[in-house]
Structure 1
């Protein structure tokens, strides 16, 4: 089962890397496809086309391998620590999801070392690592900080409403640029944009 708020974040991620993909970033193609696959999203047409173009370059022998810039590029950019990239990628979303789960069952719970320790016990990490992972995961703006979620839950909002409100507030202009908007029932819909 896919969590709607994570699907929403994945959709926003894909939209956020669209310009990178259009400017030739092959690794962004793979990241966007991974987000869609992980969260049960259908690939947007522009992403399918970008993937197939790069895939075909390798199959046709225009590239020597998948890691070449003309295909999908390097997984770990030069200068990045592989262990740090792996930890953030693997444990960041998991830590965030566990923390959200704990807050949704007790919205008056403080966001403190005890929360991070409980999350850490569930994912096999120390409290300080958990806090850092969650902060990094939220830093891109796709997922609301724990304090925002907790404070919104205290006002008796449903978890889905919390994430929709965050997403709408943070990304409405970006979504509009791609011809999308939230409708009155919280669904993402296509809109027509008047040309000026």
Structure 2
């Protein structure tokens, strides 16, 4: 019996060393050496090497000079306790929830005021609330507003959208989309 206990303790220690120490540090090493950009959050920096966002997390843009992103339930950059970020978040409200219905209706009214046709991705949050992409159609519907506010030709914006369209993963998964942060950064560089 003592022999079985010793074997059990030894097996537990070996598995713990493998799964709690060796494997995590191996993954950190591989991530930092093979995929450092992705392993560190896919951070996007400006010309002064200041972090301005992540390519993986949606941000809020409200100015007429920028493409609007998907709505977010969590607005860290609004209110008296505002943080200097515009990152997103999700909720688990049911489609029949009055708070969700009110938020969706308000978003539709805001889009109508900005003379933007409502599309699903401009009205509803993504499942995670973190998606930084909008559809190509949603980006194109915003061209007249941005062209007018920046005094740009619509064709310039169309080319910019086409250039920043991310296609289906492996050619079959997902839908083509546009990363709003990357598109807005490229938009700022056009002027």
Structure number with bigger Rg:
2
Q: TM-score, normalised by structure 1?
A: 0.24
Which of the pair is proportionally richer in helix? Answer: 1
Which of the pair is proportionally richer in strand? Answer: 2
Q: Which has the higher contact order (CA 8 A, sep 6+)?
A: 2
Q: TM-score, normalised by structure 2?
A: 0.24
